[in-house]
Amino acid sequence: MAPSPSPSGRRNGSGAVPPRCEGRGLPSHAMKYLLRRVLFYLVAFWATITLNFFLPRLMPGNPAEALMSKFGGRLNPLALHAIAIAFGLNVHESLWTQYGQYLVQVMHGNLGTSLTFYPASVFSVIAAALPWTLGLVGLSTVISFALGIGIGALSAWRHGGRFDTFMSTFFTFTYAFPYFWIALTFLYVVGFLWGALPLSGAYTTGLIPGLSWSFVLNVLRHGILPAFTIVFTSLGYWAVNMRNTMITTLSEDYVVMAEAKGLTLRQILIGYAGRNAILPNITGFAMSLGFIVAGAILTEIVFSYPGIGYLLFQAVQQEDYPLIQGILLIVAFAVLAANFVADLMYSLLDPRVTIGESQ
C-alpha cells in the first residue's frame, strides 16, 4: 500500500493560468465600469431634481398662498402679485412649462431667491453656510470614523479582554444617549458654568473673517465643543460596527495563516484583518460623508452654528420654499457624490469589485 507519487506529474488543468483580465490599472473595462457608474448617478440626480420639483407642488396650498397669508393683512393685492412674480411663484403657467424652466435654472446654478434673506440668492446663502458645515461636521465625521475603526479593531483583537469589555460598555452607553441632551449638558457645564469655551457661533461676533492666526484660533475654539459632542455620540457606532466585522474577519483562515506565517502584529492587524474588515464599513462611511452637507441639524441649532443645518431650520421656520428646495437639492447631490466616491474606494480597496463587474 505504498504511496504512488508520479514525480513527472502532468502540467494540466490546475497548472495553467486562465487568460483573465489583469487585476488593476485602468484598461478599457475599468473605464467602461466607471462610465456606467457615472451614467447611473446622472440618472439618479435627474430623478432627484424631478422629485424636488414635484413634491412641494403636490402638497396642499402653495408658496404664493403661504406668502400671502404671511403679509396678507398689510399689503394690497397688487403688491402681493408683484412679489409672487418676482419670486417665481406665478402659478398660472402649466406644470410642464414650470418644470422645464426649473430644469434650465438648476443647470445654471440658479436656485431662486431666498425669502428669508431677500434679496440674496439661494445659491449665495447656501455657499456662505456650506464651508462652516463642511469644516465642522466633515472634520468630526472623519475623526470619529478613524478613531472608531481603530478602537473597534483593537477591541476585536483581544475581544473579551479588559479593553474590549470597557469599550463595549462605554459605547453602548454613549450611543444610547439622546444627542441634544449630551450637547446641552456640555454646553451648560463647559461653556456656561466653567466658561472655558464659547457658547455659540462659529467665531466671535465683530471679528473680520480672514486668514490671520487670531481668527483661525478663534474659529477652532468655537468648533471644539460642537465637534466634541458629534464625535462623542457617533464614535460608538463606528467602534461597535468595526469590532463586530473584525471579530468575524479574525476567525477567517487567512488571518490564522497570517499569524502562522510569523507576520508582525502590525502586518496582521492592518494588512490582513483590518483591510478586510473595513470593507463593509465603507458604505456606512460614504453615506455619512454625503449627509455631512446636510449638517448636523441638532448640533448647529444647539450651538447656533451658521451651517447648512441651522439654515434649513431657519428656512423651515420662515416657510422659505426656495431655500428649502435648494438645500434638499444640494444634500441629494452630496449623497450621490459620496456614493460615487464609495464605489471608487471599493474598487481601489477590493480587487474583486471592478473585475467582478467586468465579466
Instruction: Name the residues that contact another protein, by CB under 8 A.
Output: 1-7, 9-11, 13-15, 17-18, 20, 22-23, 158-161, 252-254, 256-264, 267, 271-272, 275-276, 279, 349-352, 355
The neighbouring-strand residues paired with 121 are: 113
Nearer residue to another protein within complex by CB, 108 or 253: 253
Burial of 320 (0-12, 13-18, 19+ CB in 10 A): buried
Nearer residue to another protein within complex by CB, 19 or 73: 19
What is the residue type of 173? F
Nearer residue to another protein within complex by CB, 30 or 143: 30
Nearer residue to another protein within complex by CB, 57 or 158: 158
State the cell numbers at 149.
Answer: 475603526
Nearer residue to another protein within complex by CB, 153 or 302: 153
Q: Are 350 and 342 in contact (CB under 8 A)?
A: no
Least separation in angstroms between residue 357's CB and another protein is: 13
Nearer residue to another protein within complex by CB, 227 or 255: 255
CA atoms in the 13 A half-sphere facing the CB of 200: 9
Q: Are 113 and 121 in contact (CB under 8 A)?
A: yes
Least separation in angstroms between residue 244's CB and another protein is: 17
Q: Are 238 and 277 in contact (CB under 8 A)?
A: no
Radius of gyration from C-alpha coordinates of the chain: 27
Least separation in angstroms between residue 359's CB and another protein is: 11
Of 90, 119, 148, which is closest to residue 281 (Cα–Cα)?
A: 148
Least separation in angstroms between residue 340's CB and another protein is: 21
The neighbouring-strand residues paired with 113 are: 121
Compute the Cα dihedral for 303, 304, 309, 312 and give only its sign. positive
Least separation in angstroms between residue 6's CB and another protein is: 5
Least separation in angstroms between residue 358's CB and another protein is: 12
Our CA angle for 178, 184, 186, nearest 5°, is 105
